[in-house]
């Protein structure tokens, strides 16, 4: 059991490092985009920044699932590469279908993966909110949508 916990903790730290490395440029870009958005078409710039930020965060999550999948294959926890990625994704996203079970010895890795995913999804949610809050400040309140009364 201690081996599982130690390995799970180590892989969680790898994923936390990946997330931190991705978060730094995302938050920096959002703050930089705030000054850029003060130019023409601020609503379009806000939408562009949000799409880019969420896309980068999704890519980070895919990479983090891949790290778990690589571990599952290296330890021969599941029979195939496809099963490893699927099993990692199901646990990371906390779906917990239970249709694929790991080998008995490595069963604790599933819940550790779920805990890691829940923490990193929460972190991403906080960053998405921060990006939106920072970038949306540039939309002037006196700009009305077409058809709105002034």
Read off the pLDDT of residues 46-61 as tens digits, 9 standing for 90 and up.
Answer: 888 889 999 999 999 9
For a pLDDT cut of 90, what percent of the chain falls above it?
Answer: 49
Mean pLDDT, residues 17-27 taken together: 92
Cβ contacts of 17 within 8 Å, gap of 6 or more: none
If you search the block for the tokens 């806000």, which residue do you land on? 46
Q: State the pLDDT confidence band at 41, using cuts at 50, 70 and 90.
A: confident
How many C-beta neighbours within 10 Å does residue 119 have?
14
Please give the CATH number for the structural domain made up of 2-136.
1.10.287
Q: What is the pTM of this model?
A: 0.82
Is-contact 150 143, C-beta < 8 A?
no
- Angle (nearest 5°) at CA 142 between 137 and 146: 110
Mean pLDDT, residues 19-48 taken together: 78
Taking the domains of the chain in order of start, what are their residue ranges? 2-136
Q: Distance between CA atoms of 33 and 114, rounded to whole angstroms?
A: 33
């Amino acid at each position: 059991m201690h081996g599982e916990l130690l390995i799970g903790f180590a892989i969680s730290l790898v994923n936390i490092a990946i997330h931190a490395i991705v978060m730094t440029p995302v938050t920096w870009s959002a703050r930089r985009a705030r000054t850029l958005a003060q130019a023409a078409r601020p609503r379009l710039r806000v939408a562009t920044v949000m799409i880019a930020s969420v896309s980068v965060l999704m890519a980070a999550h895919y990479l983090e699932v891949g790290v778990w999948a690589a571990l599952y294959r290296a330890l021969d926890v599941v029979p195939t590469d496809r099963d490893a990625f699927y099993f990692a994704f199901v646990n990371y996203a906390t779906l917990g279908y239970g249709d694929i079970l790991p080998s008995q010895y490595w069963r604790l890795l599933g819940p550790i993966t779920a805990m890691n995913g829940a923490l990193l999804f929460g972190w991403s949610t906080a960053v998405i909110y921060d990006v939106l809050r920072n970038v949306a400040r540039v939309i002037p309140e006196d700009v009305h949508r077409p058809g709105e009364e002034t």
